[in-house]
Amino acid sequence: MDKADWAPVDGHEVQRLSELFADDAARVERFSLMLGGISFDWSKMPLDEALVGKFEALAEARGFAAKREALFSGGVVNPSEGRSAGHVAERGSGSAQDNELAAAGHHRMRALVDAIEAGAFGDVTGVLHIGIGGSALGPDLVIDALGHDGTRYDVRVLSNIDGQAFEDAVSGLDPATTLVAAVSKTFTTIETLTNVGAALAWLADAGVEDPFGRVIAITAAPEAAVAFGVDSTRVLPFSQSVGGRYSLWSTVGFSIALALGWPAFEELLEGAAEVDRHFRFSEGRANVPLMAAFADLTVSQLLGCETRAVFAYDERLRLLPSYLQQLEMESNGKSVTAEGAPVNRRTAPVTWGGVGTDAQHAVFQLLHQGTAVVPVEFVAVIENEDGQDETHHRQLLLNAFAQGAALMMGRDSDDGARAYPGNRPSATILLDRLDPRTLSALLAFYEHRTFANAVLLGINPFDQYGVELGKEMARAIEDPAEREKFDPSTRALIERAGL
Ligand code: F6P
């Protein structure tokens, strides 16, 4: 069934980019779309009209419209856990009932933000946000991207179990005026609980009278936070149906609201909601996240690309690649279909990347001349950050565009070392400006693109059983009796490290 659905796409002969441009004077317009203050140009990806038509037919055969409707109406789109996906409701784009529940969470969160601002916790200057994976990456990215002109509180995001990470995160914070946001969907994650314990000790050592009174827990397991010692009045719950990597829109965004202010947080929700409406109601090639998925699948299925690289040509978006790594790889790094059968085709490529122009002087050698073909995504912002030198920004943007052109055009030479094969695919995502609305539109676009890829591949993007085995073994390795069951190499490492 799957094979038959895919057959027309699988059998498609991909043309060289230079031929595609030569054949179609309107190629740029044909393969560019605009959404939420962001333009998307896939003209340098090996898509053509016929192929897009085949992908549209594939989407139909795979029941894309019904699955998308299930996403927005609170249907079970995460069958292995029997759950809906609640992130859209956090933006008011879900079912009436789910929207109401999410709004109640936001209401409670706003009351706490207002209380902190009104001085209910005394003088507050810093926030130590403790969480890992989806409980850290989204807030970290948004605060870093939008807080360049300064934030209302000094927010530090602490995730790693490494004691050095703790030292770095609290360095310069005043324990007497710092609040701790303990963010964990499950409230069982060892890194987060260990770091919250360290933060409590840090507060106590500095003479803070009631360290637990400085902790706000954000979780989908409120009873676990209360059992841990956090007073229920300082627990901000969110729904179990909100996946960690999709959670910045929920109360997990508490530190964002503190850092940037409530109006900015609301704008984030609105920017994402605009993309929700577009994704829900646009069809086929007019649908931006769906078109992006067509481009993704063209290079992974037809060119055999195993990785994809994202370069932010904007220092403010430097955390975007790591955020996308979790979103894309934890969602779609699967080998079985939603029904548990083997997928039998490539699923998510390895997402990697960095910041331009730095990356040009590090990894672009391989992109231009290596044996691996890596589709590149350039993400840049047209409008400069206020008050910054235009010359820098102009150079930054022109460099991004020049790299895309060089990858595609290449250059012939009799000297092999100086020859560039060209025909290397890239896409360019250009934000008009970087503000809460456009940034959230970009992130919602990536979420829906991930969902669209999953539907076309037939996989469940909302579970993450792949990380469970590692977690289990990390617990077992603590126990001397269990250690005996480990392999000789691992036992030797434990012995060598004196553990
Ligand atoms: O280990 C992976 C993971 O489960 C992610 O999916 C999640 O975002 C992260 O751990 C943190 O989990 P929690 O929010 O429950 O602490």
The atom number, within ligand 1, closest to the CA of 131 reads 16
pLDDT confidence of residue 387: 75
Q: Is 339 a catalytic residue?
A: no
Q: Are residues 273 and 240 in the same domain?
A: no
Any domain includes 89 = no
The atom number, within ligand 1, closest to the CA of 467 reads 1
Spot the catalytic one: 56, 90, 191, 330.
330
Q: What are 131's two structure tokens? A: 């969480």
Report the CATH number at residue 54: 3.40.50.10490
Any domain includes 90 = no
> Are 225 and 187 a contacting pair, CB within 8 Å?
yes
Q: Are residues 406 and 444 in the same domain?
A: yes
What are the DSSP calls for 256-285, one per residue?
Answer: HHHHH-HHHHHHHHHHHHHHHHHHHH--GG
Q: How far from 81 is each of 312, 338, 339, 461, CA to CA, in Å?
A: 34, 11, 12, 11
The atom number, within ligand 1, closest to the CA of 471 reads 1
Spot the catalytic one: 306, 392, 468, 471.
471
Distance 247 CA to ligand 1 centre (A): 11
> Are 289 and 452 a contacting pair, CB within 8 Å?
yes
Residue 161 burial (CB < 10 Å; 0-12/13-18/19+)?
A: middle
Distance 186 CA to ligand 1 centre (A): 8
Distance 255 CA to ligand 1 centre (A): 18
Q: Are residues 292 and 441 in the same domain?
A: yes
- Report how far Cα 248 is from the mean position of its chain's Cα atoms: 10
Residue 371: closest CA among 306, 300, 294: 306
Q: Are residues 65 and 180 in the same domain?
A: no
* Domain ranges, residue 364: 3-81+268-463
The ranges of the chain with pLDDT < 50 are none
Report the distance separating Cα 95 and Cα 72, nearest Å. Answer: 7
* Angle, CA 266 vertex, CA 103 and CA 118 arms, to 5°: 85
Distance 276 CA to ligand 1 centre (A): 24
Sign of the CA dihedral running 446, 451, 456, 459: positive
Q: Are residues 283 and 415 in the same domain?
A: yes
Which residue ranges have their beta carbon within 6 Å of ligand 1? 132-135, 184-186, 189, 192, 244-245, 330, 464, 467
> Are 83 and 462 a contacting pair, CB within 8 Å?
yes
Q: Is 482 a catalytic residue?
A: no
Q: Are residues 248 and 390 in the same domain?
A: no
Q: Are residues 48 and 169 in the same domain?
A: no
